[in-house]
């Protein structure tokens, strides 16, 4: 049976895609099944109200940012955020990076027009280049190998600079200690090629990340991304935007977690301040009726994007904070554990989001705008938000 697959690039030579997939299938998985199982154990604790998730990183990782200084800044910032959250919430904090694989991005349009010229949209460095030329924008399957090797370098940097991600860990090590990694399961040729059968439990694992999430644009229950995700043992996130209905969410939970296993599903709410008061209670009621042990996270970034007068996308720090506050308030009012934050951020001193202690204005946004897609919180804003979350 064929399942329609949304948001996939139109590769000019399908035979080349199959060849690259064969090379990936012959390569070692980036993360072992044992680490994925450790993350599932940690998520079970969060599901029981005994922990909080910090899932954060780039909107879309760029190949040229695979550098030691970028890794160090990210690790330092996430470590600082973790300490602030742990102190404010009095709970252990589980660190999951949008890193070592977040190279693909869904797009609202397959094409981009500039000066009357139409070219394929930039879909992330794993697919094509950001430069506006035919050569750059033509999808190239060879880039999947580039993504694999850079993900391996990134994971190596995390292992060298943090306590954890060690496949030699003992039972006495806390499952909350490591940096785990995640990305949107968007480019199916890549994710499927790195999926392996684990003989120890006869389960299939996506060996490209510890956990992956289902995006808003690929979440139709009868289509290819859901069909792929229901076959793997990794924990799975589901992005829940304003278009998510109780009926659709129920179908997704039945397909992705039919046995209601705790630690399997994270619901990543990306409603925006304008919709969260109205829509989040409806989703909470739907899940309560299914008796499904999900973990609720807030993504306060995607629903609050706007453009400056100059046309740059930005997000207001105050609006982001307000959505986090409302998320925590609404869940607690219904007796549900707020499970975590899902943020687009960087350890670098960019000026992509307005506000915060630095008082970045619209006029400042273009000074240090490095993101290839969506605006990210900078180092100072990330730490400030972590500190405030502990007070909400």
For 180-230, the pLDDT digits (tens) are 999 999 999 999 999 999 999 999 999 999 999 999 999 999 999 999 999
- Whether pLDDT at 299 is above 90: yes
Ligand-binding annotation for 270, yes or no, is yes
pTM assigned to the model: 0.95
pLDDT at 264: 98
Q: Side-chain half-sphere of 362: how many Cα atoms within 13 Å?
A: 8
pLDDT at 117: 96
pLDDT at 175: 86
- Whether pLDDT at 163 is above 70: no
Ligand-binding annotation for 379, yes or no, is no
pLDDT band of 162, cuts 50, 70, 90: low
Whole-number average pLDDT of the chain: 95
Q: Which one-letter DSSP state was computed for residue 304?
A: G
Taking residues 53-64, report their average pLDDT.
97
- Whether pLDDT at 50 is above 60: yes
- Whether pLDDT at 171 is above 50: no
- Whether pLDDT at 164 is above 80: no
Ligand-binding annotation for 150, yes or no, is no
Q: Are 234 and 194 in contact (CB under 8 A)?
A: no
C-alpha 140/C-alpha 137 separation (Å) is: 9
Question: Which H or E element spans position 130?
Answer: none
pLDDT above 90 as % of the chain: 94
Ligand-binding annotation for 315, yes or no, is no
Q: Are 220 and 6 in contact (CB under 8 A)?
A: yes
Q: Side-chain half-sphere of 205: how many Cα atoms within 13 Å?
A: 24
- Whether pLDDT at 172 is above 70: no
Q: Which domains does the chain have, with CATH numbers?
A: 14-390 (3.20.20.70)
pLDDT band of 234, cuts 50, 70, 90: very high
Task: Tell me the three state secondary structure of residue 51.
Answer: coil
Please state whether beta strands 195-198 and 111-114 pair in parallel, antiparallel, or not at all (unpaired): unpaired
Ligand-binding annotation for 344, yes or no, is yes
pLDDT at 316: 98
pLDDT at 1: 58
- Whether pLDDT at 166 is above 70: no
- What do you get for the CA distance between the two ends of the chain, in Å? 48
pLDDT tens readout for residues 310-369: 999 999 999 999 999 999 999 999 999 999 999 999 999 999 999 999 999 999 999 999
Question: Which H or E element spans position 150?
Answer: helix 142-161
Tell me the helices (H) and strands (E) count for the chain, helix number first: 11, 14
pLDDT tens readout for residues 75-129: 999 999 999 999 999 999 999 999 999 999 999 999 999 999 999 999 999 999 9
pLDDT band of 291, cuts 50, 70, 90: confident
C-alpha 7/C-alpha 104 separation (Å) is: 10
- Whether pLDDT at 165 is above 60: no
Task: Tell me the three state secondary structure of residue 161.
Answer: helix
Q: Are 62 and 125 in contact (CB under 8 A)?
A: yes
């Amino acid at each position: 049976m064929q399942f329609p697959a949304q948001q996939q690039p139109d590769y000019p030579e399908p035979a080349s895609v199959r060849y690259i997939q064969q090379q990936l299938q012959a390569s070692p998985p980036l993360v072992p099944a044992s680490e994925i199982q450790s993350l599932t154990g940690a998520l079970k604790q969060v599901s029981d109200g005994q922990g909080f998730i910090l899932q954060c990183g780039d909107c879309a990782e760029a190949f040229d940012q695979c550098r030691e200084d970028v890794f160090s800044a990210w690790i330092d910032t996430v470590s600082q955020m973790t300490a602030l959250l742990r102190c404010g919430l009095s709970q252990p904090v589980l660190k999951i990076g949008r890193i070592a694989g977040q190279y693909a991005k869904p797009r609202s349009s397959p094409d981009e027009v500039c000066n009357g010229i139409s070219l394929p949209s930039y879909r992330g460095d794993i697919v094509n280049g950001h430069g506006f030329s035919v050569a750059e924008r033509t999808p190239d399957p060879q880039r999947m190998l580039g993504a694999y090797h850079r993900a391996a370098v990134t994971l190596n940097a995390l292992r060298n600079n943090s306590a954890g991600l060690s496949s030699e860990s003992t039972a006495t090590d806390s499952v909350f200690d490591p940096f785990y990694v995640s990305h949107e399961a968007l480019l199916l040729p890549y994710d499927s090629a790195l999926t392996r059968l684990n003989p120890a439990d006869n389960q299939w694992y996506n060996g490209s990340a510890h956990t992956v999430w289902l995006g808003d644009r690929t979440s139709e229950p009868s289509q290819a991304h859901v069909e792929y995700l229901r076959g793997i043992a990794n924990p799975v996130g589901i992005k829940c935007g304003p278009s998510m209905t109780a009926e659709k969410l129920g179908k997704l939970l039945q397909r992705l977690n039919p046995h209601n296993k705790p630690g399997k599903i994270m619901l990543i709410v990306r409603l925006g301040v304008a919709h969260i008061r109205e829509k989040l209670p409806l989703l909470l009621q739907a899940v309560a009726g299914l008796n499904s042990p999900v973990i609720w996270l807030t993504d306060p970034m995607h629903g609050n994007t706007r453009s400056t007068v100059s046309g740059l996308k930005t997000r207001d720090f105050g609006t982001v904070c307000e959505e986090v506050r409302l998320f925590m308030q609404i869940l607690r009012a219904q007796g549900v554990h707020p499970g975590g934050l899902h943020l687009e951020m960087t350890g670098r001193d960019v000026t992509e989001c307005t506000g915060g202690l630095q008082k970045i204005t619209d006029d400042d946004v273009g000074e240090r705008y490095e993101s290839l897609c969506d605006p990210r919180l900078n180092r100072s804003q990330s730490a400030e938000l972590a500190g405030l979350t502990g007070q909400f």
